[in-house]
Amino acid sequence: MSNPIDVTELFIKHKNKIPNAAILLLALVVGWNLLQQQNSEIDSLNRQKVDEVRKNEVCEELEQYDRQLGEFSKFLAKPETSDLINSLSAMAMKCGVRINSIKPEEERKSGDCVKIPFVLHMTALDYQGIGNFISNLESDKNIYTVESVSFEKESSDTMLQEQEGESLRKAIKIAIQVNKVAILE
């Protein structure tokens, strides 16, 4: 049998290796701590990157909403009277309705908005044309509201000539109170 190795003998034999092992162990601990610190910083930077990407997305959405608001404000701007009359006349002509007169009324302000009321006196050959005109008016990109519609009493001068033929038909006379809604600047 072999002799058991004495611990002191082992210590003396490897005394130069013990400090090397301690230094190696210390280097591993320090390296592990540095690695953990770097991983923590990387995680923090990744979270910041995600936050910045989200902020950029929100900024892009806000810019898009701002552009849309700019486009909508064009439709909500207070129009020139001539532009308003031209727009209504074109709409009426498209629907086969004739505007006999447009009577503006006093503007009504409410907060940041203003209603520009006017009464349209019109004649049409049929109710379909009137319905189409009102439908087009309320679905127009400019904001109009129809407050009231009234049919006027027939008179002897309400005969209209149809464009397709030469026959005369009794025309429908109507008065429509309309508001153009605008934002005050």
Query: Domain residue spans in the chain?
Result: 1-76, 81-183
pLDDT at position 70, please? Answer: 76
Instruction: Report the half-sphere exposure of 170 (CA within 13 A, side-chain side).
Output: 5
Among left, alpha and beta (phi > 0; psi -120 to 50; other), residue 3 is beta
- The amino acid at residue 40 is S
Query: Are the beta carbons of 99 and 120 closer than 8 angstroms?
Result: yes
In this prediction, residue 40 carries a pLDDT of 93
Quick one: pLDDT at residue 112?
A: 80
| Helix ranges restricted to H, the chain | 7-13, 17-76, 81-95, 127-138
Mean pLDDT in each 10-residue stretch from start to end of the chain (185 residues)? 65 75 88 93 94 93 85 70 84 90 86 85 89 89 84 60 53 86 75
Q: Taking a C-beta distance cutoff of 8 angstroms, is the pair 123, 96 a contact?
A: no
pLDDT at 163: 47
Is the Cα dihedral 68, 73, 79, 84 positive or negative? positive
- Assign a CATH topology to domain 81-183: Alpha-Beta Plaits (3.30.70)
Taking CA atoms, 180 is separated from 67, 80, 89, 119, 148, in Å, by 23, 11, 15, 11, 14
